[in-house]
Amino acid sequence: MDLNALLQAFTPSWTSVVMLVVFFTYLAIAGSILPGRVVPGATLADGTRLHYRCNGLLSLLLLVCLLGISGWMNLVSPTAIADRGLELLSTTLIFSALVTFLLYMAGCRSRDQSSSLKPHISGNLIHDWWFGIQLNPQFIGIDLKFYFVRAGMMGWLLINLSVLAKCILETNLSRSMILYQLFCVLYILDYFFYEEYMTSTWDIIAERLGFMLVFGDLVWIPFTFSIQGWWLLNNEVQLTTAAIIANCLVFLIGYLVFRGANKQKHVFKKNPKALIWGRPPKVIGGKLLASGYWGIARHSNYLGDLLLALSFSLPCGISSPVPYFYPIYLFILLIWRERRDEARCAQKYKEIWAEYKKEVPWRILPYVY
């Protein structure tokens, strides 16, 4: 592709704007009216708690059905997203920059002193725009942080499904593509099945809503996590049966560790006496879980996620580093995040954290790191 063609592919069209507007409008309406469990979030510094309606799975399934029916009736093309990948990327990027600028301006004007809405202004515009100045800004009653992460995860699936449609209609459906698609579908459905677990994650409880988070949710997640699918559209990989079995095992082990660890922590926070692997939990200072996965490493959930990320790329073989972008990025992100979380926990839990570190010396991978 020459430079002109590349620039043209990146130039937002009205079609891509309309596609985004329809997607965001659907999410706002579906998120507000579809039934779902209402889950209390973490207790904030001022003692308040937000409540999240976890209807992401229903919203997603309904959206996929509606798109499927529209495709079958020839109202929309199943390859519409895959055909406009680059322009959708640039449109979403511009949208992220605009929306976070508006968030910055609205935050600056806020006089609200609650933990969710109190503006934290450093005076450095770039810093404040990048990291955000409010913890939980809302728009027409919608919690924007929860909304954007949901949009990103659903966007990833929609891109993948459109790439799959393009593959079926225009090339040959390979075993590699089937594996990659299957793993991602399972991961995303599982994410929405356990959507309430999101309410206790670092992003939701600790990060302010600025460009970094919005870009991460809306651009980074859907457009870079799907690189393997795009790559497989243009590259053929022959996988042996042994390679497929090994790939499935990496996915399965990664899933068990990832989901198991996150679930144990979530259950523990709700009921510190709940059994872990059939036994009463070991608890440090009445607050920190040191049993199950949390007794093996202080962040074994990160290990599970890294194995899952690797399993998404293994279907692409080892001929190119391009499909390994996601696991490499995640490795760097989680190593950095673990350090930041460690510092936060050390400050919050003080001597209890020091005791936990003595009890569980490994950060992510036992006997290695």
In the complex, the residues that contact ligand NDP under the rule CB under 6 A are 201-202, 258, 262, 265, 268, 288-289, 294, 299, 301-302, 305, 330, 333, 337, 341, 344-345, 348
In three-state secondary structure terms, 321 is coil
> Do 115 and 96 meet the contact criterion of CB atoms below 8 Å apart?
no
CB of 360 to ligand NDP, least distance (A): 8
Q: Which structure tokens are listed for 315?
A: 């279907």
CB of 117 to ligand NDP, least distance (A): 21
Token pair 């209609």 is at which residue?
169
> Do 149 and 217 meet the contact criterion of CB atoms below 8 Å apart?
yes
- Comparing CB distances to ligand NDP, the nearer of 223 and 268 is 268
Token pair 């936990």 is at which residue?
356
CB of 4 to ligand NDP, least distance (A): 34
- Comparing CB distances to ligand NDP, the nearer of 87 and 305 is 305
d(CA 33, CA 305) in angstroms, rounded, equals 32
CB of 221 to ligand NDP, least distance (A): 7
CB of 84 to ligand NDP, least distance (A): 24
The enclosing H or E element of 363 equals none
- Comparing CB distances to ligand NDP, the nearer of 83 and 338 is 338
- Comparing CB distances to ligand NDP, the nearer of 48 and 171 is 48
The enclosing H or E element of 39 equals strand 37-43
> Do 212 and 130 meet the contact criterion of CB atoms below 8 Å apart?
yes
- Comparing CB distances to ligand NDP, the nearer of 56 and 107 is 56
Calculate Rg over the CA atoms of the chain.
21
